[in-house]
Amino acid sequence: MSKLLFLFLCLIIIAVSVSVGVVNGTETNVEIYELKRGDFSFKATNYGARVVSLVLPDKTGKPVDVVLGLDSVKAYLNDSKNFGSLSGRVANRIKGAQFTLNGVVYHLDKNSNGNNSIHGGFLGFNKVNWTVQEYVKDGPKPYIVFHYNSYDGEGGYPGNLSVTVTYALLQPYKLLLTMRAKALNKATPVSLTTHSYWNLGGHNSGNILSEELEIFASRYLPTDKQLIPTGEIAPVKGTPFDFLKFRQIGSRIAEINVTNGYDTYYIFDKYNPKKKNALFLAATVKNNKKTGIGMNVFSNAPGMQFYTANSVSNITGKGGYVYQPYCGYTFEGMGYPDAVNRPYFPSVIINPGEVYVQDMLYDLQVKKY
């Protein structure tokens, strides 16, 4: 075989392998990608742009993985508890799976309680395969960019939407998540979030009920039995929802009805609609007694869903560890749930050409004893 023919064949093989796995702009290969900076490392998968692990040294120097996750791509493909996932086009619940925008009624997938829509529908952003747009594995600022083209009518939503999600490791022990979406041809609601479950004692350390938490939110959204906001905006003060001062997550959890734990939208006091993109301190978890790891959560969203994994039960996770209720919690910065049906909630509508911006910064500290 001549050298030229050999080269030509190589090129064809490369071209074929690049195009394999991409059908109509939809990735069909699912992989796990690692970012590494010294003793700080992170894994994600392009299936649902999900966080798989976040490892840092505990107070004795031993590596500890502080997010819950599953052992294989196959397990993620069958997951129903949203481990590590990126939710959209609109995170959380939409009453009656419908809304009206510019005079048009849009009917969404009814994938929650038979009549409501949740997390973008049956095949939300948490269940589609994203493409990897950029990937810098190590060095001073490792990062990965996932991209997804959401099409007009997907889940019932209007217009094409181009979405990018970036995870970056900043030293020491900061994970930055940036979420961007551009409406390409029609106005559409957009409210993205991360559903990663945290446990600063280690993903396999049992429940989080004794973790001490502070949330800088003096108001929350009460909900009905299907977890749809009633429309009321209520003060947390004195209620079981009050985390204005550090207290153990479990100390009043038994008083929460219907959901058997927190599944609650908190309105951040420091959110300023005039400084939409500026990060502020939204919540703090005190240093875990066993690992010495604590966390400051920064956000630029109007509020967040705080969920204590109430319905996670008997799920075999990483290393064969079985996750049970309260094995972790989520800090899901996002727009107000059901904002599309509540004109007095801050709007989640993005107009053509406009860019949706939302970031979360997880700043972990290790206290050495």
Indicate the annotated binding residues. Answer: 92-93, 195-197, 263
Query: For residue 35, which of 144, 123, 109, 125 has the smallest C-alpha distance?
Result: 144
Exposure letters 303-325 (e unless 16+ CB within 10 A, then b): bbbbbbbbebeebebbeebebee
User: Is position 105 an interface residue for ligand NAG (rule: CB under 6 A)?
Assistant: no
Residue whose beta carbon is closest to ligand NAG: 96
Name the one range near ligand NAG by CB under 6 A: 130-138, 170-178, 254-262, 291-299. Answer: 254-262
141 vs 26: CA distance, rounded Å: 28
Name the one range near ligand NAG by CB under 6 A: 5-13, 195-203, 208-216, 253-261. Answer: 253-261
Sole binder of ligand NAG in the list 34, 59, 71, 96 (CB under 6 A): 96
Please state, in angstroms and as integers, the Cα–Cα distance from residue 149 to each residue in 19, 45, 51, following that order. Answer: 17, 17, 20
How many residues comprise the chain?
369
Token pair recorded at residue 353: 């050409």
User: Is position 259 an interface residue for ligand NAG (rule: CB under 6 A)?
Assistant: no
- Closest to ligand NAG by CB, 158 vs 333, is 158
73 vs 171: CA distance, rounded Å: 28
State the nearest-atom distance from the C-beta of 276 to ligand NAG, in Å.
25
Answer yes or no: 27 catalytic: no
Name the one range near ligand NAG by CB under 6 A: 5-13, 24-32, 52-60, 136-144. Answer: 24-32
- Closest to ligand NAG by CB, 152 vs 232, is 152
User: Is position 325 an interface residue for ligand NAG (rule: CB under 6 A)?
Assistant: no
Say if CB 332 and CB 304 are below 8 A apart.
yes
Torsion of CA 284, 248, 85, 88, to 10 degrees: -80
User: Is position 43 an interface residue for ligand NAG (rule: CB under 6 A)?
Assistant: no
Active site residues: 195, 332
Applying CB under 6 A, the residues found at the interface with ligand NAG are 26, 28-30, 78, 80, 95-96, 98, 115, 128-129, 151-152, 160, 184-185, 240, 255-257, 313-314
